[in-house]
């Protein structure tokens, strides 16, 4: 779908400033919604009054989660500061969304076993990382060869949510599988380098400048490469991208269906299960927070709420009726 010249300019400006593709898409989405809400008026013809009305609409009428409302505000703050050049007040008096986040769906240990027995062998390694290391979907597909530390049995996650880096655990059982995967990556790379049109793997702009030869180096290749090369949408260069996140999502859904699991299972369900099972095994909540990359401990505490509900800690008074 074509965008207005204003949104095209917004996207181009964010691209030049090295914003991620997903952030650009999200900001454009919310600015488009803001413009539509105000009868297609240009943002330069509006100000804080219209911004407040839009944010209140998201909270009261749309009943969006606080995180979605905050993302919409961030998009508006960027537009008015960087493009309109009339920054919004730092303390806007808008109605903050009070919709509670949903309790995460968690698989039991039995369900996890059933699930992995139905995972396609072609996707077992990345899906194992979602549960075994608690990675987010995009953190998993974006892994590079050098991100696996065989000596310390860990995974280095760069620029996770919020741009944060962290080191997470890696199951011993996956080490030989990763060695096999690297052999596959090496085979792909050798074939690609024989193609005179191949431009190497995609690297962030700052790394391209700092390490000009890294795009052809094995360590910088994606750990889970796509089965075919394609044109880089930014430059048009021929590259080998990582596997599609949507394909990985479908594989997770498919495995859950084959396993007969009736819960709504997604890649994030495996991350939720990782955190919950760590706590069940006696891990300290601060350790789990570090593993997940949560900035706020309260975000991690949602998993303690799961463990505190039902038979894990509270005995129902109904049970007494069934005791002899």
pLDDT tens-digit readout, 172-225? 999 999 999 999 999 999 999 999 999 999 987 677 778 888 999 999 999 999
Domain assignment present for 303: yes
Structural domain containing residue 244: 102-312
Distance CA 57, CA 54 (A): 5
pLDDT tens-digit readout, 58-93? 999 998 988 899 999 999 999 999 999 999 987 888
Map residue 278 onto helix, strand or coil.
helix
Which residue numbers are catalytic? 136, 161, 268, 271, 294, 303
In terms of Cα–Cα distance, which of 37, 47, 41 is closest to 76? 47
> Residue 217's domain is classified under what CATH number?
1.10.443.10
- Does 117 share its domain with 150? yes
pLDDT recorded at residue 67 = 84
Confidence bin at 163 (pLDDT 50/70/90)? confident
- Does 68 share its domain with 183? no
In terms of Cα–Cα distance, which of 46, 51, 248, 283 is closest to 138? 248
In terms of Cα–Cα distance, which of 117, 108, 126, 102 is closest to 262? 108
Domain assignment present for 182: yes
Confidence bin at 144 (pLDDT 50/70/90)? very high
- Does 31 share its domain with 176? no
- Does 123 share its domain with 244? yes
Total structural domains within the chain? 2
Map residue 239 onto helix, strand or coil.
strand
Domain assignment present for 321: no
pLDDT tens-digit readout, 199-213? 999 987 677 778 888
pLDDT tens-digit readout, 248-271? 999 999 999 999 999 999 999 999
Helix axes 21-37, 5-16, angle to 10 degrees: 150
User: Structure pTM?
Assistant: 0.79
Domain assignment present for 54: yes
Confidence bin at 314 (pLDDT 50/70/90)? low
- Does 217 share its domain with 145? yes
Domain assignment present for 290: yes
In terms of Cα–Cα distance, which of 283, 250, 251, 22 is closest to 134? 283
């Amino acid at each position: 779908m074509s965008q207005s010249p204003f949104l095209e300019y917004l996207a181009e400006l964010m691209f030049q400033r090295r914003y991620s593709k997903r952030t650009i898409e999200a900001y454009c989405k919310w600015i488009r919604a803001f413009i539509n809400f105000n009868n297609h008026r240009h943002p330069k013809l509006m100000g804080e009054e219209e911004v407040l009305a839009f944010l209140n609409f998201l909270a009261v009428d749309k009943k969006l989660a606080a995180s979605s409302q905050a993302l919409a505000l961030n998009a508006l703050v960027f537009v008015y500061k960087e493009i309109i050049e009339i920054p919004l007040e730092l303390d806007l008096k808008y109605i903050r969304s009070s919709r509670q986040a949903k309790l995460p769906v968690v698989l039991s240990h039995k369900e996890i076993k059933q699930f992995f027995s139905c995972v396609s062998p072609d996707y077992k390694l990345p899906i194992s990382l979602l549960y075994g290391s608690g990675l987010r979907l995009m953190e998993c597909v974006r892994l590079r060869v050098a991100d696996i530390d065989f000596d310390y049995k860990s995974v280095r996650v760069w620029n996770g949510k919020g741009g944060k880096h962290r080191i997470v655990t890696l199951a011993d059982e996956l080490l030989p599988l990763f060695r096999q995967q690297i052999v596959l990556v090496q085979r792909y790379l050798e074939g690609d380098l024989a193609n005179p049109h191949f431009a190497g793997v995609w690297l962030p702009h700052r790394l391209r400048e700092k390490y000009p030869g890294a795009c052809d180096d094995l360590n910088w290749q994606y750990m889970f490469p796509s089965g075919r090369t394609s044109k880089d949408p930014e430059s048009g260069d021929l590259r080998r991208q990582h596997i599609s996140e949507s394909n990985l999502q479908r594989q997770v859904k498919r495995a859950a269906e084959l396993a007969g699991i009736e819960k709504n299972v997604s890649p994030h369900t495996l991350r939720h299960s990782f955190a919950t099972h760590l706590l069940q095994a006696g891990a300290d909540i601060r350790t789990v927070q570090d593993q997940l990359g949560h900035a706020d401990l309260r975000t991690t505490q949602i998993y303690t709420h799961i463990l505190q509900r039902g038979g894990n800690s509270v005995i129902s008074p109904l049970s007494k009726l069934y005791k002899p």
